[in-house]
Structure 1
C-alpha cells in the first residue's frame, strides 16, 4: 500500500470522554462526518472536566488511549475543551512529545525541539516517533458541529481568500513578524497575501489565515472566515482556554476559524514557541491538513495547545 500524501480518516483516532455527554455526541458526529473507522474511536473517563492534569493523571490517560491504538494511527483528536494542560505543558504536546516536567521550573526558557518541525512526513509516528494530537473544543454542541462542518466544507472547491499577517504596535508580541511572507498574489491558489502594520483588520469576508500579536484581538465579530481558516495570536496564555487573563484561542473558533493555537503557560516571546507563518503557509498550501500544517510550524511546541478540526485541507489536490 502506498503512503498517503497527507493524514486521512484511517490514520486518525478520536478520543471521547464518556463522563461528558457532549463529548460522546460530538465524537459520534465527527466520526460520521469524516467517516472515521469505528475501531479508531477510543473511550476514556475524565470526571469533572479539570483544566489541568498532574503527571500521574496524565500518564493514566495516555496509557488508556495508547492501549487502543495500532501502528497505523498517526494522529489523535481529543473531543473536549478541558483538560487542556498537563502541569505547565499543553495536553497536546504532552501527549505527542512526552511530558517535559523540567520545563516547569523555568517555563520562560527554551523548550525541547520537535522532530516534526517543517517535516514533509505523512507518517509522523513511523518516521519521527510522534503521534500528532489536537483538541476539538465544545463550547456548545451546536458550535462544535459548526466547526466540524467548516472543516468538511474546506475539502470542496477553494474559494478566493486572503491570508492576513499583522505586525502590531505591541513590539514584544510581534517577535515572529520576521517570518511573515511578503504581500503578493497567488492566482493558482486563489489566495492573496497581505502583510500589514496594523493592530487589527475589520469588515472583511475572505479570511483564510489571520496571524497577529496582541493580548486581545479586536473586531473579530466583523470578520468572516473561509472554511478551513487558520488563525492565532502570539500572546502569553491564549492556550489557557477557559482562563480570563488574556484572550482565549477559543475566540478564534467562535469567530469562524477552523483551527488555532495558543500557549497554556508563560512562554516568553520566543518565536519558536509559536507557529512560524512561512512554514505553516507553505505546508497548508501544499495540501497538508490543518493538524499537519500547524504542528509542522512550531519548533518548540511544549507549551502550545493545538485546537480545531484536524482534517481541514482547503488546498488538497483533486478538489471538486
Structure 2
C-alpha cells in the first residue's frame, strides 16, 4: 500500500508533481432525495439552503425507506434517473438519507458512483475492484473518469442533520490548527492499517500524533481520528474541529442504523463531519478502508470530504461514505457561497 502513494504527496517527502487544484463546490454538487422518505427531503432542503446548491442540481429518486438494502434493479433505476436529470457539470453527489445504505452486500455510495459489481457478494472477504479514483489527481471526476463520487448526508433526525451540515459549512476554508490522531489498539485484525500511520511530527497546520492506546480521551483539537476497534469509547470527552474526519476499522461500521458493532453515525453524532464504514464482512484488508496518508494528503491541499475520503480507499465496493461532502477546511481559493 505504501508504494501506491503518488509522487506529489509531500507527506512522503516528495515533490515530483504539484497537488491537484481542488475546485469542487456547491455548483458542482448534486443532491439526491429519496421521495419515499420525508426526512430525506427535509435534509435536502436544509442542505441546499445552507450550502447554496443550485436548485437544478436536486434530483428525486424513489427507494424503499423501510429497509436498509436495495436490489441491483432498484439501484439501476435510481441511477438512470440521476443520470437523466442531473446537469452534466455535476461532479459529485450528496445522498440525503441514512437508509437504505447498501445494495445487496455493496455500499450504496459505491453503487451510485460506480454501479453494481456482480460476484462480490459471493465471497466478501476477497479483494474487490481497484477504484480508478484512488489517490487520483482528478479534480473533475465525472468529466475525467466518468464517476460522481457520492456521500450520504446521513442522520436519523433533522436536528442531527442540521448540526452536521452546519459543521460542514463552518469548515470551509477555516484553516484550523488542529491534530490528527492515529490510534494503535493492539487488536491484531483491526490494526491492519496501523503500519500505514504517519510518524509523529507536523503536516502543515496539523500535528500528527500516532499513539498506542485502547481509545483517545480528553482531546479538544481533533481533525483526524483513525482507530481499529469494534466500538470506540470516550467520544463524549473529545472536541472535533469543524470538518473533522473519523473512522474505525471494523466489520460493520457502515451498517448505519442496525450495526451489531458501532455505526459510523456515532462519529457524526459525536461531532465529526465525515466518516466511513463497511456494510458487509470485508475481512481486515487495509485496502478496504481509508489509507491514513492518502486521506491526509488530499484533505490538507484543499479537497472536500467526499474527494479526500473517496481517494483514500483503494477497494471501496463494500463501504459507505457518510457526512457533509462539501466540508473543506483547507480549501485555499474560492469561497463557499452559502445562503445566510
**Number of aligned residue pairs:** 316
Say if 2:262 is the partner of 1:247: yes
Partners of 1:97 and 1:114 within 8 A in 2:
no
Aligned to 2:154: 137
Q: Tell me how far apart the structure 1 counterparts of residues 247 and 106 of structure 2 sit (CA, whole Å).
A: 18
Q: 1:28 maps to what in 2?
A: 45
Decide whether aligned partners of structure 1 residues 122 and 49 sit closer, same or farther in structure 2, where only a CA change above 3 A counts. farther
Structure 1 spans left out of the alignment, 5+ residues: none
The equivalent of 1:117 in structure 2 is 134
Report Cα offsets for 1:11-43 as digits up to 9, x if no partner. 111011222222111111110111101100001
Provide, for residues 179-215 of structure 1, a one-character-per-residue CA deviation record: whole Å limited to 9, x for no partner.
11111134x42x2110011111111111000000011
* CA positional deviation for 1:156: 4.5
Q: Secondary structure at the match of 1:203?
A: coil
Please name the residue that 1:75 is paired with.
92
Aligned to 1:208: 223
Gaps of 5+ in 2: 1-19, 336-340
Cα distance in 2 for residues equivalent to 1:244 and 1:88: 14
Q: How does 1:212-251 map to 2 (within 5 A)?
A: 212-251=227-266
Q: Which moved more, 1:38-47 or 1:214-223?
A: 38-47
CA distance in 1, matches of 2:334, 2:51: 16
| 8 Å Cα contact 2:63/2:74 also seen in 1 | no
Per the alignment, residue 277 of structure 1 pairs with: 292
1:9 has 2:26 as partner = yes
What residue number does 2:181 align with?
A: 164
C-alpha distance in 2 between matches for 1:137 and 1:15: 12
The question of 1:316 aligning with 2:331 is answered yes
Q: Does 1:286 align with 2:327?
A: no
List aligned pairs for 1:56-95, cutoff 5 A: 56-95=73-112
Deviation of the 1:61 alpha carbon: 1.5
Q: Greater CA deviation, 278-287 or 309-318?
A: 309-318
- State the distance in 2 between where 1:89 and 1:318 align: 35
Q: Secondary structure at the match of 1:261?
A: strand
Whether 2:163 is the aligned partner of 1:151: answer no
Output the TM-score relative to the length of structure 2: 0.90
